[in-house]
Structures are given as C-alpha cells and as structure tokens.
Amino acid sequence: MALALRCLRPLPALLLRSSSAVSRGLPQAARGCPALLLEGCSLCGQQVLLSRQLATKKAKGKGQSQAKVNISAALVEDIINLEETSEDMQAVIEALKEDFSRNLNVRTSPGALDHITVVTKDGKFPLNQLGQISQKSPQLMIVNMSNFPESTAAAAKALRESGMNLNPEVDGSVIRVPVPKVTREHRESLAKLAKQSTNKSKEALRKVRSKSITQVKKFKSKVSEDTIWLLEKQIQQMADEAATEMDKLLAAKTKELLG
C-alpha cells in the first residue's frame, strides 16, 4: 500500500496537460504511476523521456514557486544537441573572461596590447603579429614595426582607438606608447568598457539561444507540444544561468577597476 501511494502522488496542475502527449507516442511510465515527463517514482525502475524537478525557491518579487526543467540531453538528441548549446553558451562566457583579462586592466602591460586589431590593406591582424611589443620602462612601451613598416600608421591608429586611453607617438617604424596614469577617470572609463563588453556578450548569448529554439521548433509537427515547451524552457533556463554568470563577472571586474 505504501508503495502504491508513493507512485500515485499528485501531479502539479501545470503538467496535467502532458497526458495528451501519451497518445502521441511519448514513452510512458510504469502502469499506474502518473510520473510521465517527471523524474517520477524511483521505484518504477523505468527511464522516462524528460525529467522535471520542482524548485521550492520563490520567483523574485512575485512570491510564486518556480519549476526547474532538467532534460536528459541523450534522450532528445534527435531534436537538438543540448550539450552543444551549453558549450556554445560557455564559449561566450569564456570570451568575456578573456576580454576582461587582456584588455581591461588598471595597469597596462605589453600583453594587453597583443590582440589589438590592426586594419591594413591586406586584412585585419593582431598587433603582436605585425610588431614586436616590449616595455622599456614602467611608463613607456615600445612597438617595433620594422618587419611591417608600411603598417605603422595603421597600428598607431588601432592603439589610439583601442579604448585603453593610449596616445601613441610614431618615430619612423617605432611606436612609443606612454603608459597612462591610473586616474579615477581612467578607472571609470575601463568600467564602462567592461559594461559594454558584457552587453555585447549577452547579445551573442541571445543569438545562441534563438538559434537553439529555432532548431527545436522545426520538430513541432513530429513531437508533442509538451516536449517542445519543455525544451524551450530548458534552453531559456540555460541562457538565464549564463547571463547571471556574466553579471557576476561584470560585478567583480567593476569592483576591481574602481578600487
């Protein structure tokens, strides 16, 4: 009797509509157990298509409970590769971290100049592929453009427009780059750049999300509405978590820059 009661626990009203999906071919839980589309009764011993865990955490400012979707990527791989979606979102986060590390530091170092993009008649190149970057003193960096002297002017322009508060001086094929003083204005400028970089990364994240949801919607005529709905919710949930991580990175970077 105790076993039967565990299998027959009530379903949330939100998921009662999933019963219609049974007739459209979704795998069913063990007979008598209403755990379809849920993680369900562990005593049934049968793998189900999707799992859903009810979170007790209340939605911010709304006082409502949130449902957290947890879908097995292997069981929906014919519809979408959720692992690939996760990797694409993580790649956006890693790119933001790299940008923060290389380009947004209070103290300018030679390494911070490496990936400044120089536009030449032959295309776009990182500065460190065109010139040799070194630090002559704590207050001065040198970019030797002797290997590509024709790109000296373009390199100086890229340094000036890098957003790093640099004012390069050209002397033949050598570019002298005075290290800017760490003023409050400079710190605030870097913090604004960090915010701009985060917004660009969030835009890239939205593109990953939209691409994945578009992929899921292609299967509207082949799988149940419940499956499509849960997959879309899962993708949105992944995007929200990635955006939250970006906000934490921005907060930490802003604190570092402003001191």
* Residue-level pLDDT at 151: 95
Residue spans of the domains in the chain: they are 73-103+183-258, 108-178
Residues 6+ apart with CB under 8 A from 167: 160, 177, 178, 180
The fold for domain 108-178 equals: Gyrase A; domain 2 (3.30.1360)
SS3 category, 120: strand
Contact of 183 with 153, CB cutoff 8 Å: no
Beta-carbon count within 10 A of 164 CB? 20
Superfamily holding 73-103+183-258: Ribosome-recycling factor (1.10.132.20)
Q: Is the pLDDT higher at 14 or at 134?
A: 134
Statement: residue 92 has pLDDT above 80: yes
Phi, psi of 132 (to 5 degrees): -95, 120
Provide the token pair at 233: 């919710």
pLDDT single digits (tens) 184-199: 888 898 899 999 999 9
Nearest to 198 by CA among 85, 84, 103: 103
Model confidence band, residue 107 (pLDDT cutoffs 50, 70, 90): low
Phi, psi of 159 (to 5 degrees): -65, -40
Distance separating alpha carbons of residues 175 and 68, to the nearest angstrom = 55
Instruction: List, as one string, the DSSP characters of 215-258.
Output: HHHTTTTTS-HHHHHHHHHHHHHHHHHHHHHHHHHHHHHHHHHH
pLDDT single digits (tens) 197-214: 999 999 999 999 999 999
Statement: residue 2 has pLDDT above 70: no
Statement: residue 115 has pLDDT above 90: no
Residues 6+ apart with CB under 8 A from 84: none
